[in-house]
Amino acid sequence: MDTTAATSLRMSRQRARDTGTEVALRRALHALGLRYRVHRRPVRGVRREADVVFGPARVAVFVDGCFWHGCPEHATWPKRNAEFWRTKIETNQRRDRDTDERLTAEGWLPVRVWEHEDPTSAAARVRTLVKDRLT
């Protein structure tokens, strides 16, 4: 597969649901005894869907792909069509920040989990946040 094909494949997986990290995170959360809903828009009228939603605690979890959301640790910035990809990724980052601001304004806590994170430790982090919001 050449670079362009690989990039296209990654692009086709944008906002892919049920990625490996997301499924593993949900499994880990469930193992911790947490209950949640998946793929919901937390705030009525705001067209942004979270991957894992804790209604009573008002915690919305987003699992962000390293490539597509420009992970600072090991995002790869394609050299071919560099301008195009930079614009795409930066647009996504702006949208992520905007989503976080909208949710926060409505009393929600947005939580970002990177695709590369260990699902078990990410789940532990989420549990702490959820429990704090319920007490």
Give me the residues that bind Zn ion (CB under 5 A), please.
66, 71, 73-74, 114, 116
The CB-of-36 to Zn ion minimum distance in angstroms stands at 23
Bridge partners for 61 per DSSP = 52, 111
Query: Given strand 37-40, what is the order of strands in its sheet?
Result: 37-40, 50-54, 59-64, 109-114
The two three-digit tokens of residue 7, written as one number = 């990039």
Q: Which is nearer to Zn ion, 22 or 130 (CB)?
A: 22
The CB-of-33 to Zn ion minimum distance in angstroms stands at 28
Contacts for 52 with CB less than 8 Å, ≥ 6 apart: 22, 25, 26, 29, 36, 37, 38, 60, 61, 63, 126
Q: Which is nearer to Zn ion, 46 or 71 (CB)?
A: 71
Q: Which is nearer to Zn ion, 8 or 76 (CB)?
A: 76
The CB-of-67 to Zn ion minimum distance in angstroms stands at 8
Q: Which is nearer to Zn ion, 106 or 115 (CB)?
A: 115
Our CA dihedral for 63, 66, 72, 77, rounded to 10 degrees, sits at -150
The CB-of-107 to Zn ion minimum distance in angstroms stands at 29
